């Protein structure tokens, strides 16, 4: 199997209308925005896309819509995940049929299964297709079994199509062990940053990045990625610190913060779905003011 390297992967949010239905018109505009502004690939719907708030039918409809919108211009990685193994397997098969370039999944959540059962879950999802398969960190590790080096290595031994790990934990020991020990099993095994903090992953050999902040500051994200790809980590420090400032501003509001920042940049994708609370008018105004005060965002695109 040829090595599939995703590069800089944008992770779009899912736009909603006032009635909380999916806004496919806005989704089409958002996909075009990501394609114009530096996406080597798209991964959807990832946690920033509120995947656990979507029905099975909506997940399939989003992927099918994205495939038609992208029209092969960049690879689309399908995030197929569920607490139930059989459900995740069926989603993986649907993604392959829809034309996805690769599959992304993480350990099952809520059940807290033993590590051996997590391996079985990952292997069954990965083996459901022949597409390149990436394991990603759980979105919230305390609601499930964390991804460990042992789980990765045992899965790697059993899955010929396991291409790499997308790490959002930023656990230094895990990153080093996953990439170094993984490559002893398979030389082309990859480590990708699961957040916009590419420098740490790049230093230990990481070769890609999943970027939630690409919907807000795609130029800044691209700058960090390209400098890291050239192993110019010292030069990337300033841009990485700017990303840290933006991330710190948004993180307390979660999905609402990310969507609020996009709204402030002229790309309104609605509010998050309940039970996530959206920003009030006053909170949105304050966030927009703080966004406007960030000098490094002035070079970023406004509107669609």
State CA 27 to chain mean position distance.
Answer: 16
Mean pLDDT of all residues in the chain?
95
Indicate the range of 141-150, 185-194, 276-285 predicted with least confidence: 141-150
Q: Nearest CA to 155 among 168, 169, 145?
A: 145
Tell me the C-alpha distance between 50 and 2, whole Å: 31
Supply the pLDDT for residue 110: 74
Q: What is the mean pLDDT of residues 204-221?
A: 97
Map tokens 């990153």 to a residue.
175
Q: Nearest CA to 213 among 228, 203, 223, 200?
A: 223
Q: What is the pLDDT of residues 278-289, one digit of tens each?
A: 999 999 999 999
Q: Is the dihedral of CA 251, 253, 258, 263 positive or negative?
A: negative
Q: What is the mean pLDDT of residues 76-81?
A: 96
Supply the pLDDT for residue 254: 77
pLDDT of 112 higher than 90: no
Q: What is the pLDDT of residues 164-177, one digit of tens each?
A: 999 999 899 999 99
Supply the pLDDT for residue 142: 58
Ramachandran bin of 197, using left for φ above 0, alpha for ψ from -120 to 50, beta for the remaining angles: beta
State CA 74 to chain mean position distance.
Answer: 15
Q: At what angle do helices 115-127 and 85-98 cross, to 10 degrees?
A: 20
Q: In this structure, are strands 102-105 and 133-136 parallel, antiparallel, or unpaired? A: parallel
Q: What is the mean pLDDT of residues 182-199?
A: 97
Say what the pTM is. 0.95
Supply the pLDDT for residue 210: 98
pLDDT of 1 higher than 60: no
pLDDT of 304 higher than 60: yes
Cβ within 8 Å of residue 227, ≥6 positions away:
233, 235, 236, 239
Can you give the length of the chain in residues? Answer: 304
SS3 assignment, position 76: strand
pLDDT of 2 higher than 80: no
Tell me the C-alpha distance between 60 and 82, whole Å: 13
Q: What is the pLDDT of residues 223-271, one digit of tens each?
A: 999 999 999 999 999 999 999 999 999 998 878 999 999 999 999 999 9
Which domains can be identified in the chain, with CATH numbers? Answer: 8-230 (3.20.20.70)
């Amino acid at each position: 199997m040829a090595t599939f390297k995703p590069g800089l992967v944008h992770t779009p949010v899912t736009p909603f209308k006032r009635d909380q239905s999916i806004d496919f018109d806005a989704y089409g505009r958002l996909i075009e925005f990501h394609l114009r502004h530096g996406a080597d690939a798209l991964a959807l719907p990832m946690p920033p896309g509120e995947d656990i708030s979507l029905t099975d039918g909506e997940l399939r409809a989003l992927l099918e819509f994205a495939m038609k919108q992208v029209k092969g211009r960049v690879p689309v990685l399908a995030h197929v995940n569920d607490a139930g193994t059989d459900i995740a397997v069926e989603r993986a098969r649907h993604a392959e049929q829809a034309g996805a370039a690769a599959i992304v999944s993480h350990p099952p959540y809520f059940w807290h299964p033993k590590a051996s059962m997590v391996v079985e879950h990952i292997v069954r999802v990965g083996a459901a297709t022949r597409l390149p398969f990436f394991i990603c960190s759980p979105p919230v590790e305390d609601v499930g079994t964390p991804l460990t080096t042992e789980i990765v290595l045992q899965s790697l031994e059993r899955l010929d199509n396991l291409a790499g790990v997308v790490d959002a934990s930023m656990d230094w020991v895990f990153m080093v062990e996953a990439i170094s020990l993984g490559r002893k099993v398979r030389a082309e095994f990859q480590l990708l940053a699961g957040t916009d903090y590419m420098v740490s992953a790049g230093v230990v050999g990481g070769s890609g990045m999943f970027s939630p902040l690409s919907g807000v500051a795609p130029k800044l994200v691209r700058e960090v990625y390209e400098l890291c790809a050239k192993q110019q980590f010292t030069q990337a420090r300033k841009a990485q610190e700017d990303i840290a400032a933006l991330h710190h501003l948004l993180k307390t509001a979660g999905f609402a913060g990310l969507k609020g920042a996009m709204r402030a940049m002229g790309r309104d994708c609605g509010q998050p779905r309940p039970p996530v609370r959206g920003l009030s008018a006053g909170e949105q105004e304050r966030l927009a003011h703080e966004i406007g005060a960030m000098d490094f965002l002035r070079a970023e695109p406004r509107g669609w």
